[in-house]
């Protein structure tokens, strides 16, 4: 009797292992397969950064300790009340797109790199005073100037000496009201770097850079 009961239980257990799944299980499996297919079909394409065409050499020059970098010349006036960034003036009438494209193909390198020699770095702000007119002319030609290898601009104080030696008037950043840009030293009109860690993870899509308003987009 015990043997028969054991055989009966074994038969039920073995049979249930090969039972066809119920309708709910089939529906769940089918739904999962459909969802996977939809995710594959609608997955966004991989974003590939365009070739910049020019990649500057990375120098990895050491900076100053924070306490030294942040020192400001308190004998100079506080510039916290800076005027706002000038509005961009647009004239979109009668633009020849084909001609503009040809002109852009022959555009000078931007930014222009001005690399300091050992002697240039030693004389500090005097370099910018002596070369003021030349640097301002190059700025108009190229649209931007990138100073490299100058020890003067490693500090807040030195950065101010540089732009004052060139006769440049500071103004608020166009993105000032958006909260994306913060000051390193407001009294010296010096903002934090754009590629700081808290902003590096942001993806900025195609947008109009200059507008008739002081806004972020």
Cβ atoms < 10 Å from Cβ of 120: 20
pLDDT at 173: 82
pLDDT at 3: 40
pLDDT at 32: 46
φ/ψ of residue 56, rounded to 5: -70, 155
Rounded CA-CA distance 84/175 in Å is: 11
Cβ atoms < 10 Å from Cβ of 112: 16
- Beta strand 183-185 pairing with 145-148: unpaired
Rounded CA-CA distance 129/38 in Å is: 64
pLDDT at 13: 39
pLDDT at 111: 86
pLDDT at 129: 97
Q: Which residue in the block uniquely carries the two structure tokens 């008037």? A: 169
pLDDT at 206: 53
- The list of the chain residues with pLDDT below 70 reads 1-41, 47-54, 90, 178-180, 194-217
pLDDT at 175: 72
Confidence (pTM): 0.62
Rounded CA-CA distance 161/167 in Å is: 10
Distance of alpha carbon 205 from its chain centroid, rounded?
Answer: 11
pLDDT at 19: 45
φ/ψ of residue 125, rounded to 5: -70, -20
Q: Which residue in the block uniquely carries the two structure tokens 């732009």? A: 163
């Amino acid at each position: 009797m015990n043997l028969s009961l054991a055989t009966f239980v074994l038969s039920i257990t073995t049979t249930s292992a090969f039972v066809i799944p119920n309708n709910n299980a089939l529906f769940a499996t089918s739904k999962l397969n459909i969802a996977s297919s939809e995710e594959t079909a609608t997955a966004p394409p991989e974003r590939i950064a365009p070739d910049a065409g020019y990649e500057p050499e990375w120098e990895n020059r050491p900076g100053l300790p924070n306490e030294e970098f942040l020192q400001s010349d308190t004998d100079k006036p506080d510039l916290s009340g800076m005027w706002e960034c000038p509005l961009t003036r647009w004239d979109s009438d009668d633009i020849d797109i084909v001609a503009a494209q040809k002109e852009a193909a022959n555009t000078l390198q931007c930014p222009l790199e001005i690399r300091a020699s050992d002697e240039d770095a030693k004389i500090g702000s005097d370099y910018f005073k002596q070369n003021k007119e030349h640097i301002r002319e190059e700025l108009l030609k190229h649209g931007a100037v990138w100073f490299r290898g100058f020890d003067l601009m490693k500090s807040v104080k030195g950065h101010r000496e540089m732009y004052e030696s060139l006769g440049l008037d500071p103004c608020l950043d166009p993105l000032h009201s958006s909260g994306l840009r913060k000051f390193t030293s407001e009294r010296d009109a010096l903002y934090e770097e754009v590629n700081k860690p808290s902003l590096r993870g942001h993806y900025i899509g195609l947008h109009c850079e200059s507008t008739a308003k002081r806004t972020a987009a």
